[in-house]
Chain A
Amino acid sequence: MKTLYDILDWPGTKWLFLILLLVMPLASLLTWAERRQSAMMQDRLGPNRANIGPIKLKGILHFVADALKMIFKEDVIPANVHRGLYALAPLLAIAPVFIAFAIIPFGPTIYPHVYTDTLDPYLLATQPQNPAFADAIRLQMFQVDFGLIFYFAVLTLANYGGTIAGWASYNKWALLGGLRSSSQMMSYEVAMGLSLMPMFLIYGTLEPGRLVEMQGSNPLDWGVISWSALNWGFPLTICAFVLFFTAAIAETKRAPFDIPEGEPEIIGYFVEYSGMRWGIFFLAEFIEIVFISAVIATVFLGGWQVPFLDADGFRFGGYIDPNGISTSGWFLELPHWAVTTLQFGAFGAKVILLCWFQLLIRWTLPRFRADQLMNLGWKVLLPIALANIMLTAGFKLLGGP
């Protein structure tokens, strides 16, 4: 008989929790936040009036109104479209993002038997089979060594959604949008993959959960100064961070890389879609924003790691001897539940901050031309990414961090 812990550790449960309770609400809120934030940046007020009776909440309820509107709008299917592919395309656009979320470690591993006690990180590192650490709930659905490669492979499939939508719509503009979508992918995908290679060199793994763990402090390395705050790979990763961020924005197909949509030129591959079918494309875009933020937070910003927070509490400086006793420095002991909650919240805060930053970029920079994007991808990002790999490899050879 399965225990409660087994059910909680089941990927389906985690998927429901992550997608339905965290990602979808955040993506929906982003549709409102984007309009409100862009308004703030342009000296306007933005949507602030949607309300249920006296409940206004600065207009947050606009996303409810939008969803209701799109659901009840007439679903216009033009003549001559390829009915099957036309219906399939929005799902092809949104499904890969949901699948790719499987690799994201959205919180620390929870050990239910020591939930109210202070966890001993030294004991955990040396005796992971200890009964105190049984029934662990790992807040990551899919733990594989090729995690980031899996994400590249799966999220590339999302492009089929756009391309097929453009082809199935029987519309020249839509077809152009679909073609632009695939040609854009050619431009950024290589640089994107290569920009993450230095992370592989630094951490020696592409498994996101392991990446995050390595960005915290390792109890077995204790004896030297605890410096978990500085363990995020900086400054070696700054170049990779900028490269990956640029390529990732191109992946979300939003300004300045919204060439497939390009409202003033061609309306985009979803020009023939209306109602909730279009809404799914729209939502997929915002879920991709959340996903990209989660990936960047995981790979570059320490995931759920909080600076100075170890598994048993905050630790500023000081030495720790092999018995796990802090000999100097300032130490604040926290129970396991407090540490995990803080770390879970830290991941959410990082993701929200990165989402905000993506919106800031989207409302600042004008659209690139297709040839400018290709120049950027092939002539700038790719050489820099290659040089970055060489440099990082050199640092590792010379015994850098």
Chain B
Amino acid sequence: MACERNGRVVFSDISFRLEAGQSAELRGVNGAGKSSLLRVVAGLVPLAGGTLTLNGESEFATQCHYAGHLDGLKPAMTVLENLQFWEDCFDGGDVDAALAAFALRDLRDVAVQILSAGQRRRLALSRLLLSHRTLWLLDEPMTALDAASQEKLYGHMKTHLAQGGMILVATHGDLGFVPHQVIAL
């Protein structure tokens, strides 16, 4: 695969293969193209060269869940309203379970604008459990999370893999469990 953004070649000649139930960690310095790679896979950036398929299909944006730096949460709405909105967009999912997954039940009626960075991150990540997508694309998901929340995240990631899901996660090398493979950029 190759990727170009704003006329600049971000990466070229990247190749990987992920089996069901496997995770891969993307490692690289700033600007190496970790985020770009995730966005390419999510269908948010056009592929400049090469091929990309999931189960043999090249159109699979609706089978991915991309969780980037921007969380897509509306500060003027409550935690519950935000989650319900995405539940409707994904057309299914269990809001209550998602709230429970990151210990957000007590915050359900709080407006997002007064959440702390860590709480916001937890809310953003809890959507992973709403969307029921095969491939999770996580861009430095541990940012702003405390140790307990990180453990929760790893737990959900492992459950997802155990259920046959796949995970691509970009980090600076501080992932709390051993991935099936490491892709260096």
B partners with A: no
Interface residues of chain B, those whose CB is within 8 Å of chain A, are none
Interface residues of chain A, those whose CB is within 8 Å of chain B, are none
